[in-house]
Amino acid sequence: MRENPRLKPPGGTGYLAWLRHYRRAWLSGDLTAGVVVSVMIIPQSMAYAMLAGLPVEVGLYASILPLIGYALFGSSMSLSVGPVAVTGLMTATLLAPLALAGTEHYLQLAIWLALLSGVMLFVLGLLKLGFLANFLSHPVISGFISGAAILIILSQLPHLLGLANMPSTPGEMLSRWEPVNSLVLGIGLAAILWLLYARTALSGHLQRAGLAPGAAILLARLAPILVVGIALAATAGWNLAEAGVPVVGALPAGLPAFSWVTPGVSDLRSLLLPAVLISLVSFVESVSLAQSLARRKRQSIDADRELLGLGAANLGASLSGGFAVCGGFSRSVVNIEAGANTPLAGVIAAAIIAGILLSIAPLFGHLPLVVLAVIILVAVTPLIDLNSLRRAWRYDRAEGITLLSTAIGVLVLGIEGGIVLGVCLSIVSQLWRGSRPHVAIVGRVPGTQYFRSTKRHLVEIEPHVLALRVDENIFFANSKAIEQAILQAFNEYPDTREMLLILSAVNHIDGTGLDMLSEITEGLAERDVQVHLAEVKGPLMDQLADTDWLTEQISEVFPSTHIAFNTLGNLKRAPQAEVA
């Protein structure tokens, strides 16, 4: 299959391969994407900084160096990194016990959290330990995201209702009930309606008005910037701030200074677990997003380079006074739809944000907080993923329970508690599944060489041959159950003289399992029953080769069940002399 040259992966073969082999044909796409993404992420970044309990300009600071850092090391051609909702929430809740939001110390802790997490991600990438993230199963990730989305929505309700005092918990919100500011609520509801319209019907209307479909979709994606513009104009025109609508407030102009304050040992220690959690979640989210983007363009992703890219992005964030960043879903989708071919699109977006910080940034000080809250609300509501819950519940009850417990755990126990609970549940349910093995008595499908369960098929058996297929790795959690299944099968067929264990589905036998098999074989030998094996896989055979069980207790190892069945069927050993 020949490939369209525009679709050929520009990266994937070494650092900055996209730059070294850059083609003129890619430039217009990267330029468009850079402009569109920068316009889109200005309100978003400010909103997520507010969610994180930080001054809104910190969101803009975290939208420059991280994009360049990722471009240097990352392997995705389309991923756009920056502040996202989940890392914003994690920054807020993980730092809450350590400092008061709004203080200088809190800001410094947020910067160090990005630093620590950047170092961890980069080191994991150097050590090629990206596989560690595999221990977060999909139900845990999905449950975590849904729980986090609910937490985020709860955290933004006071902004929407125009409450002056920010209650930190839902309980506090109810107990310290205040009159709703109806002006704020009105602005909020209008903004919500506009954003929902933009998300659903706007692009269709624009197309009917004559725009090309691609342009219509992109314009609809930029709807939030229109809300921001109208809100700014209204605040200035009607002096809403004096009418009691909370606004962002003074916003410094200019680029962030390169900042470096050495963290103390006690701060580092208290930030260690938060940094582990935020690194893990950022990595898992970014890499799965990068993979789904890469699939669209038939490119590939290197998980270890993603670690380096994300690590560099977070180091960049912390050096320029920003907070933790991660690959963002909506910004990456806009990036790819606007035509991004390489990370140059991100570099261009970074340059535009820097230009805005140098020019019109102070204008955003007039923005009502409720507009930022609405942007967050509309962005995170789709993250509550009931569909995954339904699917998991139907496919495997244990996974449905894991997903639900993780989500409830995040709400009730907090972010750390929810993740730890989910990981433990997914490990336990995996062990539990392995601890209930399926052991089938099999016979030959007449006229063939195939062997199937006597319970599910009409098959031929030999009365003195008992053929058992063990459908699970044999290890400590199931060796007792397998022992019982084997002995029970033996009781059902008491005339057995030859027992054949078919190991086609056994990939490992641990020491506990080996001891069990050895004891069973010994017990059967005392009853004059010989044990044979069939279909032992190569790697398992290598491991068993030196054991006493295989060399001294097992009669024969057959390459196939068919050969074993024929050989044993014709074997008529004389019964052993009676034992007193």
Residue 2 or 24: the one with the smaller Cβ distance to its own copies is 2
Minimum distance of its own copies from residue 416's CB (angstroms): 18
**Whole-angstrom Cα distance, residue 556 to residue 550?**
9
> Residue 1 is which amino acid?
M
Of the two residues 260 and 450, which places its CB atom closer to its own copies in the complex?
A: 450
Output the smallest distance, CB 227 to its own copies, in A: 35
Contact 145, 86 (CB under 8 A): yes
Q: How far is the CB of 397 from its own copies (least distance, A)?
A: 11
Nearest CA-CA partner of 316 in 330, 303, 329, 326:
326
279 Cβ contact list (under 8 Å, min separation 6): 117, 120, 121, 124
Half-sphere exposure of 451 (CA within 13 A, CB side): 24
The continuous run of DSSP H or E covering 310 comes out as: helix 303-319
By beta-carbon proximity to its own copies, the closer residue of 105 and 397 is: 397
525-549 burial, b at 16+ Cβ within 10 Å, e below that, comes to: eeeebbbbbbbbeeebeebbeebeb
| Per-residue DSSP letter, 448 | S
Query: Which runs of consecutive H residues, i.e. helices, occur in 413-560?
Result: 415-434, 479-492, 511-526, 538-544, 548
Toward its own copies, which CB reaches closer, 189 or 428?
428
Q: Identify whether the C-beta of residue 96 lies closer than 8 Å to the C-beta of residue 168.
A: yes
Q: Which of 66, 68, 95 is nearest to 318 (CA)?
A: 66
10 Å CB burial of residue 564 (0-12, 13-18, 19+) is buried
| Alpha-carbon distances, residue 431 vs 258, 282, 472, 576, 580 (angstroms) | 49, 27, 12, 41, 44
Q: What is the closest distance, in whole angstroms, from the C-beta atom of residue 73 to its own copies in the complex?
A: 20
Closest to its own copies by CB, 154 vs 424, is 424
Residue 441 three-state SS: strand
Nearer to its own copies, 249 or 559 (CB): 559
What is the nearest approach in angstroms of its own copies to the Cβ of residue 513? 9
CA dist 26 and 542 (Å) reads 52
Q: How far is the CB of 90 from its own copies (least distance, A)?
A: 22
Given the complex with its own copies, which of 299 and 342 has the nearer CB atom?
A: 299
Nearest approach, Cβ of 528 to its own copies (angstroms)? 7
Rounded least distance, CB 365 to its own copies, Å: 45
If DSSP codes are grouped into helix, strand and coil, which group holds residue 549?
A: helix
Based on CB atoms, which residue is closest to its own copies, 379 or 398? 398
Nearer to its own copies, 81 or 141 (CB): 141
The nearest distance, CB 217 to its own copies, in angstroms, is 20
Judged by beta carbon, residue 492 or residue 528, the one nearer its own copies is 528
Tell me 155's DSSP state: H
Minimal distance, residue 437 CB to its own copies, in Å: 8
